[in-house]
Amino acid sequence: MKTKSVIFDAYGTLFDVNSAAEKCKDKIGDKWESFANFWRTTQLEYTWLRSLMKRHKDFWQITEDSLDKSMRVFGINMAMKDDLLNLYKVLSSYPEVGEVLKNLKKKNVKLAILSNGTPALLNELVQSNDLKDFFDDLFSIESVKIYKPDSKVYDLPVQKYKVKPKDITFLSANTWDVSGAGNYGFNSIWVNRSNDIFDNLDFKPKNEINNLTQLLDLI
């Protein structure tokens, strides 16, 4: 596969969105995983609804708003809110991420993140996981004030690198993001970490991998 740029989604693709709740599972109890999944689903729903309503809030505000609701739904002590938010800023990367980025860097392709996250959140994530030096760019939707899968988001790396969409390989664990990027024209790869079923959104990726290490056989 020839490509000029490899671009990753951040949340759920490079970084484990459940890791904040998992680090508090002793306090949350057995419902920590259900709570983490509900928080993530609500967070995404808020991004889509705010895009449709044209009532933009940045991703950090949405993360806090969705956490508020999730904690109430699951009856979690609100005194834990600051701890969960602070842990969300430094989500753990998946175990293979560092080694994969190191190997991709040797292939002389541009590496970037394209994310709903704010610039500050993305910077803190890559710094806290010692990944900052691998990336040429951290693209945030904040420059266009609308969330994925709007095409204005996928425009960002195309405009910056002055390439055609087909020259970009894009990876995400989120099927709606894979579809959004694929319909836009990226070579879109699904990182299917949980053996899920792909959504029916007018796009089927040519390549599906279970972890990022398998990407090295494709690039």
Average pLDDT across the chain, whole number = 96
Predicted confidence band at 2 (pLDDT cuts at 50, 70, 90)? confident
**Which residues are known to be catalytic?**
9
Domain positions in the chain: 5-16+93-217, 19-89
Q: Residue 4: its pLDDT value, please? A: 86
Q: Residue 92: its pLDDT value, please? A: 96
**CATH 1.10.150.240 holds for 19-89:** yes
Query: Mind listing the pLDDT tens digit for each residue in 137-161?
Result: 999 999 999 999 999 999 999 999 9
The whole model's pTM is what?
A: 0.94
8 A C-beta contact, residue 119 and residue 15: no
Query: Nearest Cα to 64, choosing from 88, 41, 45?
Result: 88
Whether the bond between 149 and the residue before it is cis, its omega within 30 degrees of 0, is yes
Q: Residue 31: its pLDDT value, please? A: 95
Query: Nearest Cα to 178, choosing from 217, 148, 157?
Result: 148
Identify the three-state secondary structure at position 208. Answer: strand
Query: Mind listing the pLDDT tens digit for each residue in 35-46?
Result: 999 999 999 999
The CATH number fitting domain 5-16+93-217, selected from 3.30.465.10, 3.40.50.170, 2.60.40.10, 3.40.50.1000: 3.40.50.1000
CA distance 189 to 9: 11
140 CB contacts (<8 Å, ≥6 apart)? 115, 116, 117, 118, 119, 122
81 vs 219, more confident: 81
Query: Mind listing the pLDDT tens digit for each residue in 12-68?
Result: 999 999 999 999 999 999 999 999 999 999 999 999 999 999 999 999 999 999 999
Predicted confidence band at 80 (pLDDT cuts at 50, 70, 90)? very high
User: How large is the angle between the packed helices 119-128 and 59-73, nearest 10 degrees?
Assistant: 80
Asked whether the predicted pLDDT for residue 1 surpasses 80, the reply is no
